[in-house]
Amino acid sequence: MTTLQPVRGMHDILPPDFRKHSYVIDTARTIADAYGFLEMATPLMEFKDVFKRTLGDVSDIVSKEMYEIADRGDEEIVLRPEGTAGIARAVMSNGLTQSMPLKFFYAGPMFRYERPQKGRMRQLHQIGVELFGVSDPMGDVEVIALAFHILKGLKLDHRVTLEINTLGDMESRKHYRDQLVTYLRDHHTALSPDSQLRLERNPLRILDTKEETDKKILKDAPLLTESLNSFSQEMFMKVREGLEALNIPFKLNPHLVRGLDYYCHVAFEFTTTELGSQGTVLAGGRYDGLMETMGGPAIPGVGWAGGIDRLAMMLMDNVLPPLMRPIAVIPMIEAFNMKGLELAQELRKEGYTVEMTYEGGFGKRLKKANKVNARYALILGEDEVSSHTVTLKDLDSGEQTQLPQAQVSATLREKGTQ
């Protein structure tokens, strides 16, 4: 008989790992709230055009990595590969373009049809923020500061490096594009087939290449920073000054780029050496042209997305808050199970974590209590049931005390179990 397995590249998140996932999301949500970012969610499925317009036909995501859905109405539907385009679509769909600025936080699964490897799955999970309607570079500083604050909250700030670069404005990129095309045409035959195609349609996307042969060619290519006009240089200077004022360490990386047309000015990544080749744990940048690409008004934007799976892999166990040890209810015989259930329910209403021991003799139920690492056991025998009392057993010391059922909650509270 064949054992059923999850779909390749997708995995179950069992309780120990889910606890880490939840901690990443909860930490990010709390800190994002302190910065005024409101949580929202978009559908898991979107029309393919949402991403074709923004990512383009020649991007790896659109051409190779999107999960397309066979829709009965012959619509082109995909599972969302990333969060930014969907949130930009939601801003336009819900008539929010006149309500700037807008600050959003999100968390949830994304889908990419790519080769699974450490820290990179076909169903991935991301946290992210988007800030719309702010063109001032202080907006860039704020979203980077928020990312750094979250990483610090996860105690990962000393295990990652913030790398930043500038892509300049449209004028700067056009000047750079001309220089890049001139350089790459001399190496046309050595480029990968994908890059040869991009050279004709969108040469900046070659900078995102995964091919080693292309990367070698690009090592001697002109740098975008050499084509910056004075306005772009000033924007980048203000971002750096803002980060320095907030004591956020960073490293300049002139090779850090975004190949998509709507990206401009600052681009950044938080990277680590602890996850092999998948070293980026959080990345973002400014995307002032995104809304226009989608057919909307010219609204500036800046944001980032972080990989929950990768961040969770890096979390140290001692960072997580300690699990509350439960209280175990142990009816001595099955006839007292209902009394035990009633007691458990009352304590749960008081805010206690309570485990029922459902079946077996006293010894078996006591083993169950120890297995779930219960702090105390509440034992219900014939004497206890007839006298409306309970025996409270300290499972660490073995000490036992009989007390009225009405005093159980107060006694447990005095012992610091809440």
For residue 101, cis peptide bond before it (omega within 30 degrees of 0):
yes
* Res 365 pLDDT > 90: yes
Q: Give the pLDDT of residue 59.
A: 53
DSSP letter for 159, please: G
- Which contiguous run of DSSP H or E holds residue 58? none
Q: Residue 261: pLDDT above 80?
A: no
**Beta carbons of 309 and 121 less than 8 angstroms apart:** yes
CATH number of 327-414: 3.40.50.800
| Beta-strand runs (E) in 247-338 | 251-252, 264-271, 280-286, 301-307, 327-331
Which pLDDT belongs to residue 275? 86
pLDDT of residue 112: 87
pLDDT for position 208: 74
What's the CA gap between 98 and 101, in Å, rounded?
Answer: 9
The CATH label, of 3.40.640.10, 3.30.930.10, 3.40.50.300, 3.30.1380.10, for the domain at 15-169+229-318 is: 3.30.930.10
Mean predicted confidence (pLDDT) in 199-204: 82
Spatial contact of 55 and 159, defined as CB atoms under 8 Å apart: no
Q: Which two tokens stand for residue 355?
A: 């485990």
pLDDT attached to residue 62: 57
- Give yes or no for residue 115 having a pLDDT over 80: no
| pLDDT value at residue 271 | 95
Query: Is a pLDDT exceeding 90 seen at residue 83?
Result: yes
Q: Is the pLDDT of residue 210 over 90?
A: no
Stretch 357-371: mean pLDDT, rounded? 92
- The whole-number pLDDT of residue 418 equals 61
Burial class (CB in 10 A: 0-12, 13-18, 19+), 338: exposed
- 100 compared with 204, residue with greater pLDDT: 100
**133 Rama class: left (phi>0) / alpha (psi -120 to 50) / beta:** left
Distance of CA 139 to the CA centre of its chain: 21
Q: What is the mean pLDDT of residues 387-395?
A: 95
Q: Percent of the chain at pLDDT above 70?
A: 95
> What average pLDDT does the chain have?
91
String of b and e for 194-232 (b: at least 16 CB within 10 Å)?
bbebbbeebbbbbbebeeeebeebbeebeebbebbeeeb
Within this chain, domains 15-169+229-318 and 327-414 share the same CATH topology: no
Task: Calculate the dihedral angle through the C-alpha atoms of 96, 100, 105, 106, rounding to the nearest 10 degrees.
Answer: 30
Q: What global pTM score does this model have?
A: 0.89
For the cut 80, the answer to whether the pLDDT of residue 291 exceeds it is yes
Residue 9 pLDDT level (bands cut at 50, 70, 90): confident
Q: What is the mean pLDDT of residues 227-256?
A: 95
| Domain boundaries of the chain, sorted by first residue | 15-169+229-318, 327-414
